[in-house]
A and B are shown apart, each in its own frame.
Chain A
Amino acid sequence: MPPDSDGVPNKTRRDFLKKSSFLTAAAFVPVTVVNAAVNQWDEKLASVFEKTSLHLEVNGLALNLSVEPRTTLLDLLREQLNLTGTKKGCDRGQCGACTVHADGMRINSCLSLAVTNEGKKITTIEGLSKGQELHPMQEAFIKHDGFQCGYCTPGQIMSAVALIKEGHAGSEMEIREYMSGNICRCGAYPNIVNAIQEVKTGGLS
């Protein structure tokens, strides 16, 4: 690809929709539909049809949603449900900041389109504690100072809770290996390992 080409194909699906609506208008109903195209009502209409229904249980709350298929679970949580505890660090599944539980499994919510989670139970950091009572992993992170800036922390904690359930917290080395999908740029790794080990051995549960 030449470096000065941005690689965008000339014909987009959107262009096709536009042209077909214009052709339809020209062929059958003149003025009103042509006006619709000019005023981009077709776009507004299309955008409604482009949404799809989605049923999710988020932190114990059943939700009936209408989302665009291209919306990631992460952006749904952060931008539409105001659950900003789940963080965006890369949007490419490379950093783990967006880790949530889907039916109890840890996933990168940035790599999961929201609509593919139909019927699933999603747990985010906001749903981990029982009211004012913190989850033992949250307590352990505070006690062992398993964070500094705190941005990767929700993802680390969600990952750590799942890690113990998976049976991957058998040794310090195993914890390190299975926590390596969660990057911490402040470098709190040793403290994170200590926190997980304490919870694993029942120290804080």
Chain B
Amino acid sequence: MKKDAIGDSLSRVDGRLKVTGGAKYSGEFKITGLTYGVLVPATITNGTITSIDTKAAERAPGVLKVITYLNATKVPGYQPDESKPASKGLKLFNDNKIHFNQQPIALVIADTFERATYAASLIKATYQKEPFKTNFHQNIDNSMVPQGGNYKDYIRGEADAYKNAPVKIEQAYLLPSEIHNPMELHVTTAFWNTDGKLTVFTKSQGVISSQKAFANAFKIEQSTVQINSRFVGGAFGSSLRTWPHEIAAAQAAKMLNRPVKLTLTREQMFTLVGYRPQTIQKMGIGATPDGQLVGITHESLSQSAVYEEFTERSVNVSRFLYASPNANTRYKVVPLHVGVPAPMRGPGEATGAFALECALDELAYALNMDPIALRLKNYADADPEKNLPWSSKYLKECYQKGADKIGWEKRSSKPGTNREGDWLVGYGIGCGAFGAYRNKAQAYIKLLADGSVNIKSATSDIGPGTGTSMVLIAADILKISAEKITFDLGDSSLPEAPTQGGSATVSSVGSAVHDVCIALKKKLNTLTGKPENNEDLDYAKILKQQNLPFIELTQGSEGTDEAKNYSMYSFSAHFVQVHVHALTGAWRIKKVVAVVDAGKIVNNKTASSQMIGGAVGGIGMAMTEEAIIDDRFGRLVNGNLADYHVPVNADIPQIEAIFINKPDMHTNPLGTKGIGEISLIGVAPAIANAVYNATGKRIRELPITPDKLI
């Protein structure tokens, strides 16, 4: 009877839909009377619109409406009132202010995509230009402590103690802006029903948070907004929030009283839906000659936007990853005339780990010590930041398994000395950590007469295989085959679930599925007068005996106070073997081994894919990705997939994912800790360290393009 269980390798439950083209993403629903919206970008970087000529566009065939700040009906939630000042952030078509290049100044709606696109090209605007700041490095003097209040400088022991250490490293590490670039363009289709209800198909990592955002914008009841986002074509953080253009689609639909589909172009995806911000990190790290850490100082300056502040936790990793008696961190933002950043996979932690893990590698060479030995020497047996025990930590095992698999013994401790023909060979390690979070979630279950089960929760699947994992969890607990279980998500009318982010979906929603399955079994045992924990259940038979067509129930689930007694993290150790061509600087990533302590693994198959995907993201971060602004105009020059290089198939070797797979019973009933972020955190420094090992060239500014290696 029991066929599938947690820890198995189950193919995706929506795999057939995805390989046949049957999976419908947000822009793919046939809706009667659908119209097409195209955004028109500003051509200045700071200032005000002085005039917009929309006449030609309005006269073009098929055009139904041209929306600008001059004629847009006001979005109620954008307006300040007595109770509160105007909220921060970009408000499209609300005023004539331009904060960044390519900020939308108009939305053209037409009956076909082609007509809307052509008409959009006819809009002419004049501007009052103001001076602007887009050059990050020239503006670091304008850096400021975040205003938002959720960041404070951190000091443990003595600040800047590394300075007095016998062996020390003091270096700066630079990261360019990196764009999420999910393959699906951000698209929103919105329409208003005659009863005033708003229906939205949109690319969303959290249908409930989207529902709240639309309700707040239009000042309507949350229950009158229906969000649909069953299939999401990747996001990596770009759909964590509801963007101004999504609100604009609903605003346009209201003005026109027709459904509007607004699809961003790939170029617009580079400025309107966030990115990993450009960052300078200054590291100071010192140790005794035998490799005992004396102090770590981690300072970060991070790009933000003038119209909205963005912060992330890039410095936090240096507080707890190693047992240093002294540690201090500083974090500042540099507001520029650019679109606002957004969390991108492994958000600040990936940025921070790049600096910390590279600095540690530099320290290892300065000490003439093996980088793994240095990490073991300073292994944190408890969390030095929170002064709490770890809920679980198997990072030592990660080091061991990774070293074995990559062939660490073949690593030369002298950089530039390991050669295969024209290629220099190097090995590197990079580690990371990401909090194991659990949020409140609900799940609904319905047991049907044939013994099949349907479970629902308003969670999302941006790619990890949420539905597949949930089915496996239910199969494990109900002890029925996965084929008898369906799972519905991506619909705001379902029981509330958190946004898919922070690697917390399985821990949060999976726990709710776990709990609702247990509740169902209890209910059936009560009905049949069996002991509560009876496991011998023939579901169809019980319903028949009880003369019930079905049984349904909803269960909420959340963490306990026990969480406060532990510090909870997933940990990773990434190992890379790289080849660098001695003459041309061309590189080949030859092998990646990702070893992860992420608690219990629910579905080995999809979890491995997620690890591989994170490594590919890390390869992009380390080697190819860089958004470039021409500071004369303040405009991005490589806003397309030909000039902004994401890794392609030829760049990627076979990647091995290894799970420690030991449950952490402090995190949640499943023992999971999350893998979405940890799969990327630590990859980039592992590569940079491998490149140094191969060539003797320490590249502290990503991406490591061949020109930097010759």
Contact = CB atoms under 8 A, between A and B. Distances in A.
Interface string A75-88: 10011001111111
Nearest to B231: A150
Contact of A89 (B22, B122, B266): B266
Contacts of B18: 147, 150, 153
B552 interface: no
A126 B23 CA distance: 11
Contact of B61 (A43, A91, A189): A43
B175 interface: no
Contacts of A91: 265-266
Contacts of A3: 43-45, 632-635
Given A183-B183, A186-B463, A190-B655, A4 B648 contact: no
Interface string A19-58: 0000000000000000000001001101100000000000
B641 A151 contact: no
A175 B234 CA distance: 24
Interface string B652-663: 111100000000
Nearest to B641: A94
Contacts of A73: none
A149 B122 contact: no
A128 B608 CA distance: 28
Nearest to A82: B30
A12 B233 contact: no
Contacts of B43: 3-6
B1 interface: no
B61 A47 contact: yes
Contacts of A169: none
Interface of B: 11-12, 14-25, 28, 30, 43-45, 56, 59-62, 112-114, 118, 121-127, 129, 181-185, 231-236, 263, 265-266, 462-465, 605-606, 608-610, 612-617, 632-635, 640-642, 646-650, 652-655
B21 A86 contact: yes
A148 B463 contact: yes
Closest 5 CB pairs of A and B: A85-B21, A187-B616, A151-B233, A150-B18, A187-B613
A114 to B, nearest CB: 11
A21 to B, nearest CB: 12
20 contacts: A3-B45, A4-B44, A40-B59, A40-B61, A68-B112, A75-B113, A91-B265, A91-B266, A92-B266, A92-B641, A142-B16, A149-B232, A154-B21, A173-B650, A179-B650, A183-B183, A183-B641, A185-B181, A188-B613, A190-B612
B642 A87 contact: no
Given A94-B266, A148-B609, A183-B641, 19 more contacts: A3-B633, A3-B634, A6-B125, A14-B61, A47-B61, A78-B28, A84-B25, A85-B22, A88-B185, A92-B642, A94-B642, A125-B21, A148-B464, A150-B233, A154-B21, A181-B648, A187-B614, A187-B616, A187-B647
A102 to B, nearest CB: 17
A86 B27 CA distance: 12
A109 interface: no
A183 B646 CA distance: 8
B20 A126 contact: yes
A46 B61 contact: yes
B233 A190 contact: no
A81 B596 CA distance: 46
A158 B634 CA distance: 39
The secondary structure that dominates the B interface is loop
A87 B184 contact: yes
Contacts of A85: 20-22
B550 to A, nearest CB: 28
Interface of A: 3-6, 8, 12, 14-15, 18, 40, 43-44, 46-47, 68, 70-71, 75, 78-79, 82-92, 94-95, 97, 124-126, 128-129, 134, 138, 141-143, 145, 147-154, 157, 173, 175-177, 179-193
A189 to B, nearest CB: 4
Could you say which of B265, B463, B606 has the most chain A C-beta atoms within 10 Å of its C-beta?
B463
Contacts of A185: 181-183, 234, 236, 646
A84 B44 contact: no
Given A68-B114, A138-B19, A176-B649, A145 B655 contact: no
A192 B649 CA distance: 9
Nearest to A124: B21
Contacts of A5: 43
A41 to B, nearest CB: 11
Contacts of A148: 234, 463-465, 606, 609-610, 613
